[in-house]
A and B are shown apart, each in its own frame.
Chain A
Amino acid sequence: MRILFLLLVFAFFGIILFHASKEAPRTYYVLGLNLILIASLQLKRRDKLFLQTHFHHFRIIYLAEYVLLSFPVIICFFYHSQWMMLVILLIGIAASCYLELNFSKRTLNSRFQRWIPDESFEWKAGLRKWLYLLVPLWIVSLSTSFFIGTAPIAIFIFGFLPLGFYDKGESIQMILAYEKGTNHFLGMKIRLQFIIFSVLVVPLIILFILFHPGLWYIPVIEYFIFVSFHIYLLLAKYAFYISNEKSSAFQMFGSLGFIAVVLPILVPVMWVLTIKFYYQSFEKLNFYLHDFN
């Protein structure tokens, strides 16, 4: 069942990729997204020391991996005779193999950390991991918002970012630290998530509407779908909360939420689950927080 589901997801994305790589400007987005993903992989991978220690030609291993990962894109560019895009892609992949920057110290306490409220520690931790993707992406999105696809794609990426932020439960002391009753606690978390996401994407939405007024509804609908997705994620996190552990149930329902966003016909299912998770998370958290109600 899972395999079938995965095959359907791959087929769906394969069809989108095939159509997007036919002609400019969509080919630029495909190229850009692919190179950003490869570069992120290269910067984040944790097996570099192992590969560099045990293999003399470790960069060939990187190259082979990234070419394999980019194979669908390469095939699509080849099929549509997008030779320039293909050449740039291959050069970009080769260049990525030489990326060796260590950002951990520089992202540790960037000034952006101070802008995030203390209670949103998930975003503080997430920003440390993704700062060098988020900031350039945001700047590039703002400055190229005259392109019709920029804002929707950027909102899409920012919208899915929290999927990796909420998979692990914090310690019990951190839940009790706020000394808030259960409803206040959940309300605070949802409100902060909404504010941070809005700060990121509302400027993009405004610029999109200025450049493409006739299509104002696209980013607006996207925004509301992602806001409901984030509420769903937060409530799912606490519905299946286990201190200091990643809940497999959350990962499963997180994936379901991802599919619902990609296939908007399933958004009502996500809404129904959100209500269920509200009651479940209330019961779960109330065990710890009932004294503060």
Chain B
Amino acid sequence: MIKSLNLEMKSGQIHGIVGLNGTGKTTLLNTIFGLKKADNGDINFDGSQLTKQQITYLLTENFFYTGISGREYLSLFKNLSFETDRWNELFLLPLDKLIDEYSSGMKKKLALLGILKQDKPILILDEPFNSLDIESSRIIRSILLKIREKGKTIILTSHILETLTNLCDYIHVLESGKIGSTREKVDFKEFEQELFQAIEHKNEELISDLTGSKSSESFQD
């Protein structure tokens, strides 16, 4: 549950939202997009109420429709200037095959292609790097940085801290339904240390206790 939130985002920025499971990251994105209603407060864009005409949203789980091809899915989005086949030289998707035969990574890439085709000023991406291979992740990161330069606002969540720190202008840490802290252009190691220091020691003791291991080696070493 989101308790209270005050966020300001400007065009040409990439904002990362990070937090433990269940802290409300997806709820926050759903609320911004309008899939959930906030009990009170406003979500504004350039001084006016934010509408779905200004946003495109990549959900964590990507569903389409049984029995249609990737190309047929993309043809639903009416941006005639979008060069699907040229973009697909980056994504390498079998667009003329049924989406049912795609792997989860391919479905994620198809959904991202759809997001790019919509060409909205605000992009909300929930775990965009899930299921992607290293090459595809690099391509997506590069695309996001380029479209940021064109003035788009990007809000994304990810558990991959290194990607977030490399990509985002601001990272907001969600804790207990509130923004616990916001860091601007933070270094990965420093940020990781700051986020996990408090709980790491306690967890390591418990893991040693449960596994019966006396080793002082930890994952973070």
- Give A residues with C-beta under 8 Å from B: 108-109, 113, 118-119, 121-122, 124-126, 128-129, 168, 170-174, 176-179, 243-244, 288-289, 291-292
Cβ-defined contact, B72 with A121, below 8 A: yes
Q: How long is the Cα–Cα vector from A291 to B52 in the complex, in angstroms?
A: 6
Cβ-defined contact, A129 with B59, below 8 A: no
Taking the nearest CB of chain A, how far is it from the CB of B132, in angstroms?
18
Cβ-defined contact, B68 with A172, below 8 A: no
- Besides A118-B76, A119-B76, 9 other A-B contacts (C-beta < 8 A): A109-B96, A121-B65, A121-B73, A170-B65, A173-B57, A176-B52, A177-B114, A178-B76, A292-B53
Cβ-defined contact, A174 with B73, below 8 A: yes
- Give B residues with C-beta under 8 Å from A: 34-35, 51-53, 57, 59, 62-69, 72-73, 75-78, 96-98, 111, 114, 118
Taking the nearest CB of chain B, how far is it from the CB of A111, in angstroms?
13
User: Once A and B bind, how many residue pairs between them come within 8 Å at the CB atom?
Assistant: 67
Q: How long is the Cα–Cα vector from A172 to B33 in the complex, in angstroms?
A: 12
Of all A-B residue pairs in the complex, the 7 with the closest CB atoms, nearest first, are: A125-B67, A244-B63, A177-B76, A291-B51, A291-B52, A171-B63, A118-B75
CB-based nearest A residue for B65: A170
Which residues of A are found within 8 Å of B63, using beta-carbon distances?
Answer: 171, 243-244
Interface centre among B35, B62, B76, B118 (most CB of A within 10 A): B76
Of A118, A125, A178, A291, which is within 8 A of B65 by CB? Answer: A125
Q: How long is the Cα–Cα vector from A113 to B75 in the complex, in angstroms?
A: 13
Taking the nearest CB of chain B, how far is it from the CB of A183, in angstroms?
16
Cβ-defined contact, B72 with A124, below 8 A: yes
Q: How long is the Cα–Cα vector from A108 to B96 in the complex, in angstroms?
A: 8
Which residues of B are found within 8 Å of A172, using beta-carbon distances?
Answer: 35, 59
Given the known inter-chain contacts A170-B64, A171-B63, A292-B53, please indicate yes or no for A109 contacting B69, CB distance below 8 A: yes
Given the known inter-chain contacts A108-B97, A108-B98, A291-B51, please indicate yes or no for A171 contacting B65, CB distance below 8 A: yes
CB-based nearest A residue for B50: A291
Q: How long is the Cα–Cα vector from A108 to B98 in the complex, in angstroms?
A: 8
Q: How long is the Cα–Cα vector from A173 to B57 in the complex, in angstroms?
A: 8
Taking the nearest CB of chain A, how far is it from the CB of B189, in angstroms?
37
Q: How long is the Cα–Cα vector from A170 to B69 in the complex, in angstroms?
A: 14
Taking the nearest CB of chain B, how far is it from the CB of A113, in angstroms?
8
Which residues of B are found within 8 Å of A122, using beta-carbon distances?
Answer: 65
CB-based nearest A residue for B61: A244
Which residues of B are found within 8 Å of A244, using beta-carbon distances?
Answer: 63
Which residues of B are found within 8 Å of A177, using beta-carbon distances?
Answer: 76-78, 114, 118
Which residues of A are found within 8 Å of B62, using beta-carbon distances?
Answer: 171
Cβ-defined contact, B76 with A174, below 8 A: yes
CB-based nearest A residue for B54: A291
Q: How long is the Cα–Cα vector from A119 to B97 in the complex, in angstroms?
A: 18
Which residues of B are found within 8 Å of A173, using beta-carbon distances?
Answer: 57, 59, 111, 114
Taking the nearest CB of chain A, how far is it from the CB of B130, in angstroms?
17
CB-based nearest A residue for B53: A291
Taking the nearest CB of chain A, how far is it from the CB of B118, in angstroms?
8
Of A109, A171, A174, A292, which is within 8 A of B52 by CB? Answer: A292
Taking the nearest CB of chain A, how far is it from the CB of B22, in angstroms?
22
Cβ-defined contact, B66 with A125, below 8 A: yes
CB-based nearest B residue for A165: B67
Interface centre among B65, B66, B77 (most CB of A within 10 A): B65
Taking the nearest CB of chain B, how far is it from the CB of A124, in angstroms?
6
Q: How long is the Cα–Cα vector from A8 to B207 in the complex, in angstroms?
A: 65
Which residues of A are found within 8 Å of B66, using beta-carbon distances?
Answer: 125, 168
